[in-house]
C-alpha cells in the first residue's frame, strides 16, 4: 500500500477518561467502544446516529462479538456477556484474576476464541494473567504481564501480536486456535523515547499491523517484518485502540484517553478522550464472533 495523507476526523466529542476497545458489529452496523474508568459502554452508527450508552457494573477492558447476539466483555476481574438492548450483564466467570489486577485488552482470534488479558493496577509487577475462552472453556496462558495490550492476529490466524506496554515492546508468536501460542514470544517492534507505549492493535487485509501509541500522538502501520510502513499523526496524546469498520471495512476508528493528563497537557490536547475515524485505501478484516 502506498502511504496516503490521512486526516483523522472527530466523530464523538466525549471526552472519555479511558476510551478503549472499538468494535465494529457487521451484523447490526453499530460501532461499540468502552470508557474503562467511567464503566460505560457506548454505541452508534458510523454516521453518528442511534447513539446510546449503558452503565456497566465494573470497568470493561475489552469487548468482542458474541455468537448469538450481544457482546462478551473482559470486565472487572472476570468474563461477562452483555446484551446492550436490555442493558443486561451476565457473568460467565466472575473471578479469574486477583484483586490487584483488572481485566484489560482482548480480541477474537480467527477461529472465534476470545484471547484476553489483565493489567496490574499499580502497573509495577508482572503478575497480570492472560486467558483464552474456547467453546465454553477458559484456559489460563503461561505468560504474565504488567499491562497486557492487543492482541491481534494475522489474516491466516497463525500469528499473534500483543504488547506488555510498559516495556514499549510489541511481541509476536506462532499461534493456532487449538493450542494458543505455540512458540516463545519474540520482539516484533521495540519502541523508544517519544514513540510512546504500544496500546491497542489490529491487522489489515494485507497482513500489516496497526498500533495505537499511548503518549506517542500517533498510530503506526507495521509491515509483517516489523518495519514501519506508515505513521499517522493524531490530534491526541493518548490514542488507545483502533478497529476497522464501515460497509467496506476501510474506515479506521480510533479511541483515545484524557485520564491522568496534567492541566497543561489538557490545554495542549483539547480533543483528548474523543473518538476519531480515518478513511483508508486498505481494508481491515471482519471480526469473528466468539463461539460457545
CATH number at residue 221: 2.120.10.30
Quick check: is 1 in a domain? no
Quick check: is 156 in a domain? yes
Quick check: is 2 in a domain? no
| 19 pLDDT tier (thresholds 50, 70, 90) | very high
How many alpha carbons fall within 13 Å on the CB side of residue 281?
Answer: 7
Residue 2 has pLDDT above 70, yes or no: no
pLDDT computed for residue 3 by the predictor: 59
Residue 85 has pLDDT above 80, yes or no: yes
Residue 16 has pLDDT above 60, yes or no: yes
Which whole number is the average pLDDT over 232-244?
98
pLDDT mean across residues, the chain: 96
The rounded radius of gyration (Å) of the Cα atoms in the chain is 17
Quick check: is 4 in a domain? no
Which whole number is the average pLDDT over 90-113?
96
Tens digit of each residue's pLDDT (9 = 90 or more) over 151-203? 999 999 999 999 999 999 999 999 999 999 999 999 999 999 999 999 999 99
| 292 pLDDT tier (thresholds 50, 70, 90) | confident
Quick check: is 154 in a domain? yes
Which whole number is the average pLDDT over 122-142?
95
Residue 288 has pLDDT above 70, yes or no: yes
pLDDT computed for residue 1 by the predictor: 47
Tens digit of each residue's pLDDT (9 = 90 or more) over 53-83? 999 999 999 999 999 899 999 999 999 999 9
Q: Is there a binding annotation on residue 104? A: yes
Sheet containing 114-120: give its strands across: 101-108, 114-120, 130-134, 137-140
Q: Is there a binding annotation on residue 156? A: no
Instruction: Give the contacts of 281 (CB within 8 A, at least 6 positions apart).
Output: 1, 2, 4, 250
pLDDT computed for residue 5 by the predictor: 81
Q: Is there a binding annotation on residue 20? A: yes
Listed range (4-18, 152-166, 198-212) with the worst mean pLDDT: 4-18
Number of structural domains, the chain?
Answer: 1
pLDDT computed for residue 89 by the predictor: 97
| 231 pLDDT tier (thresholds 50, 70, 90) | very high
Residue 240 has pLDDT above 90, yes or no: yes
Q: What are phi and psi of 194, to 5 degrees?
A: -75, 0
**What range defines the domain where residue 244 resides?**
9-290
Instruction: Give the contacts of 5 (CB within 8 A, at least 6 positions apart).
Output: none
Q: Which residues are catalytic?
A: 199
Q: Is there a binding annotation on residue 149? A: yes
Rounded Cα distance between 238 and 257, Å, is: 6
Amino acid at each position: 500500500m502506498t502511504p496516503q495523507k490521512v486526516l483523522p476526523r472527530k466523530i464523538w466529542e466525549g471526552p472519555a477518561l479511558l476510551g478503549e476497545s472499538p468494535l465494529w458489529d457487521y451484523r447490526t452496523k453499530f460501532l461499540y467502544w468502552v470508557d474503562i474508568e467511567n464503566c460505560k459502554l457506548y454505541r452508534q452508527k458510523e454516521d453518528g446516529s442511534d447513539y446510546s450508552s449503558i452503565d456497566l457494573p465494573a470497568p470493561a477492558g475489552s469487548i468482542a462479538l458474541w455468537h448469538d447476539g450481544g457482546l462478551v466483555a473482559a470486565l472487572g476481574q472476570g468474563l461477562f456477556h452483555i446484551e446492550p438492548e436490555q442493558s443486561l450483564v451476565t457473568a460467565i466467570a466472575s473471578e479469574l484474576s486477583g484483586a490487584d489486577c483488572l481485566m484489560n485488552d482482548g480480541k477474537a482470534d480467527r477461529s472465534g476464541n476470545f484471547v484476553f488479558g489483565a493489567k496490574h493496577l499499580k502497573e509495577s509487577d508482572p503478575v497480570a494473567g492472560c486467558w483464552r475462552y474456547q467453546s465454553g472453556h477458559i484456559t489460563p496462558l503461561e505468560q504474565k504481564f504488567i499491562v497486557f495490550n492487543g492482541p491481534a492476529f494475522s489474516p491466516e490466524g497463525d500469528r499473534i501480536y500483543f504488547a506488555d506496554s510498559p516495556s514499549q515492546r510489541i511481541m509476536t508468536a506462532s499461534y493456532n486456535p487449538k493450542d494458543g501460542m505455540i512458540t516463545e514470544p519474540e520482539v516484533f517492534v521495540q519502541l523508544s523515547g517519544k514513540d510512546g507505549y504500544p496500546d491497542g492493535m489490529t491487522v489489515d487485509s494485507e497482513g500489516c499491523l496497526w498500533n495505537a501509541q499511548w503518549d506517542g500522538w500517533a498510530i503506526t502501520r507495521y509491515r509483517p517484518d516489523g518495519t514501519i510502513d506508515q505513521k499517522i499523526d493524531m490530534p491526541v496524546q493518548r490514542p488507545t485502540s483502533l478497529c476497522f469498520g464501515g460497509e467496506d471495512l476501510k474506515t479506521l476508528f480510533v479511541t483515545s484517553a484524557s485520564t491522568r493528563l496534567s492541566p497543561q497537557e489538557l490545554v495542549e490536547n483539547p480533543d483528548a478522550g474523543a473518538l476519531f475515524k480515518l478513511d483508508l485505501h486498505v481494508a481491515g478484516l471482519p471480526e469473528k464472533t466468539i463461539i460457545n
